[in-house]
Each structure stands twice: as C-alpha cells, then as structure tokens.
Structure 1
Amino acid sequence: MASKEDIRSSRRLYRRSLSKEQLAQAGESIARHGLAWARKISAGSPRTFAVYVGVSHEPPTMPLIAGLHDAGHQVLLPVCEAGRQLSWVYWTPETAFVRSDYAPIDEPEGERLDSAVVSAVAGIFMPATAVDRDGNRIGQGGGYYDRLLQHLDNSGGRPPTIAVVYDDDVLPSGAIPAEPFDRPVPDALTPSGIITLGGGSDLD
C-alpha cells in the first residue's frame, strides 16, 4: 500500500497537469452536482453550508459558492488559526480576501466565528487530495479538517459531509492507509457526480 505522502504527491502531480479549460469545466460540473446535493439535504429550503475556496489546481469551488449564494443559502468559509484550528466567516460576493497568517492561501475577511457554528450547518463541502471507496480521506497534511470532524463527532454528531475531488482522485477500497485520528467521509463530489463511499450506490 502506498503511503499517504506518496498518494498526496501523485495526486498533486496529476492536478498540475490539468489545463485552465479542464479546471473551468470541472468547476462548473462540481457546482451543478454540488447544488443538487445541497438542494436534496436542505429539502429546498434556504440553509447554511460550510464550503472552502479551492486554490491553484484544487477542484474549483467558487462556482459552487456563488451558486449556493444565488440559491438563497448562506455560505461559511474557513480561516486557519493557531493550533491547526479553523474559524469561519460568512461569505457574500462583496467579501474581501487577505493573506492567511498560517497557510499559503488567501482567506475571507470578516467576523470570525468559532467552529461550533459548523455544527448547525446543513452540510459541509470539504477539501481532499484523494478518497478511497471506504471513505478514507487524504487532505493537504495540515490536519485542520480532521480536527474539525473529530470535534463535531464528539459533540453530538456532524452534519452531512462531502469531499470535493476530481474523478481520478477516487481510489479503490483499501488504497488509503487509515489512522486512528482520521475521520472517514460518506460521499465524494466529483465533476462526474456524487459518489457514495463505504459500499453505497453512486448518484448522478
């Protein structure tokens, strides 16, 4: 079995090979399928979703973020804090972005809310560099989201959670080594549709 770092490196190499046109097409498809997932779990009512901004060659999420807002939902975006913790800011099209103090990314400016706010959202769109069919996930290596999911799991249950990846980032069962602190995810959102992990049936 390949190590997490080997898998992470191979997926990053693949992602860097994608053209601007491929990235744009992936962003549009992810938005379409992501909005359908949001509509299903919110029963068509305006709700709040936790999302993130895909940067560089990550799956683009700004079309999804804008689509959620246009559909009447509120959007929370993460901000990296000390101790590998996350705080959250409500996003609107007028939100400005500033350079993070803790990660090589730009983050939303605004009132920062504790991660407890995420326990009340309708769903969480979370980053991943790969997932396998068992629901094991590899992030960027910082551990921010594993800590968030652990907190939610220990405090009464997390909202529905879906990892955003490219189609080729979904690996066979057993491909990702699972560690005690890892938190599996039940679904993957890809440009081709929603994949139910852990033995369920895929959704278009």
Structure 2
Amino acid sequence: MATKEDIRSSRRLHRRTLTPEHLASAGESLAQHGTAWAASVSPDAGATFAVYLGVAFEPPTIPLITSLHKAGHRVLLPVCEPGRLLSWVYWTPETAFVRSPYAPIDEPEGERLESSVIAGTAGIFMPATAVDRDGNRIGQGGGYYDRLLQGLDASGGRPPTIAVVFDDDLLPSGSIPAEAFDRPVRQALTPSGVVHLHEGPEEN
C-alpha cells in the first residue's frame, strides 16, 4: 500500500495538470452539489456551515461559499493558530483575506472564534487531497482537521462532515492507510455529486 505522503504527492502532481477551465467548472459543480447537501442536512435557511478557502489547484470553494451565503446560511472559515489549532471567522462578501503564517492557505480577517463554535454548525466541508471509499481522508499534512474532529468527537458534538475532492481523488476501499488519530468521513463532495462512503464514525 502506498504511504499517505506518496498519495498526497501524487494527487498534488495530478492537480497541477488541471486547466483553469476545469477548475472553474469544478467550482460551479461543487457549489451546486454542496448547497444541495447543505439543504439535506439542514432544511431551514440560516444554518451555519464550516467551509475553507480552496487555493491554487485545490477544489475551488469560493463558488460554494458564495452559494451557501446566497441561500441564507452563515459561513465560518478557518484560521491556523499555533499548536495546530484552528480558530474561525464568519465570512461575508466583504471579507478580506491574508496569507497564513502557519500554512500555505489564505485566511479571512475578522473576529476569531474558538473551535468550540463548530459544534453548533450544521455541517463541515473539509479539505482533502484524497479520500477512499472507506472514508479515510488525506489532508494537507498539518493535522489541523484531525485534531478538530478529535475534540468534537470527545465532546459528542461533531456535526456531519463531508470531504471536498475532485472526482479522481476518490480512491478505492483500502487505498489510504488509517492511523489511530485519523477521523474518517462519511461522505465526499465531488464535481459529479455527493458520494456516500462505506465507513465513518457515527455523527450527531
């Protein structure tokens, strides 16, 4: 079995071959399917969802963020803090972004809230470089989201989670080695739609 770093490197290399047209089309499809998923987990408008800002060759999430906002939902975006912790900022169309000093991502400016705010969200859109059919996910390697989910699981307040990937990043069962600290997801959001995965922890 390939290591996580091998898979992460392979997927990143593949993503760099994607054209601007492919990225734009993927972003629009992710917005459509992601907003429908949001409606399925929280039928009422005005729910809060945790998302992230896809940068470079990651799946584009600005269309999704904008679509959720237009649907009446509130959106929280992450900020990397020391100790591999995340804080969160509410996004609006006027939100400005700055480069993180801790990770290769852009982060929103604004009032930072502790990760305990995520327990009250309707769902979490999670970054991933790959996810397999068992629900095992590979992130960017920082461990921020695994640590977030560990805390939510320990408190019993974990919302539904969905990993955002391109279609080719969805791998067969058994492709990704699972470690004790990993927290599987139950669904994947791809440009082709929402995929229900075989395994994953029970979610509230």
Q: Which band: TM-score by shorter chain? A: over 0.9
Question: 1:81-96 counterparts in 2 under 5 A?
Answer: 81-96=81-96
Which residue does 1:74 correspond to in 2? 74
2:88 counterpart of 1:125: no
2:155 counterpart of 1:173: no
2:31 and 2:80 mapped to 1: Cα distance?
Answer: 24
1:183 and 1:106 mapped to 2: Cα distance?
Answer: 24
Which residue does 1:196 correspond to in 2? 196
Please tell me the residue identity of whatever aligns with 2:151: H
Which residue does 1:15 correspond to in 2? 15
Shift of 1:110: 0.4
- The SS at the match of 2:83 is helix
- The runs of 4+ residues in structure 1 deviating greater than 3 Å are none
1:99 and 1:10 mapped to 2: Cα distance?
Answer: 25
Which residue does 2:142 correspond to in 1? 142
Gaps of 5+ in 2: none
Which residue does 1:4 correspond to in 2? 4
Shift of 1:199: 6.1
- The SS at the match of 2:173 is coil
Please tell me the residue identity of whatever aligns with 1:125: F
Cα distance per residue 1:127-179 (max 9 Å; x no partner) = 00000000000000000000000000001131010000000101000000000
2:49 and 2:147 mapped to 1: Cα distance?
Answer: 18
2:96 counterpart of 1:102: no
- The SS at the match of 1:117 is helix
Please tell me the residue identity of whatever aligns with 1:76: L
Which residue does 1:112 correspond to in 2? 112
Aligned residues: 200
Gaps of 5+ in 1: none
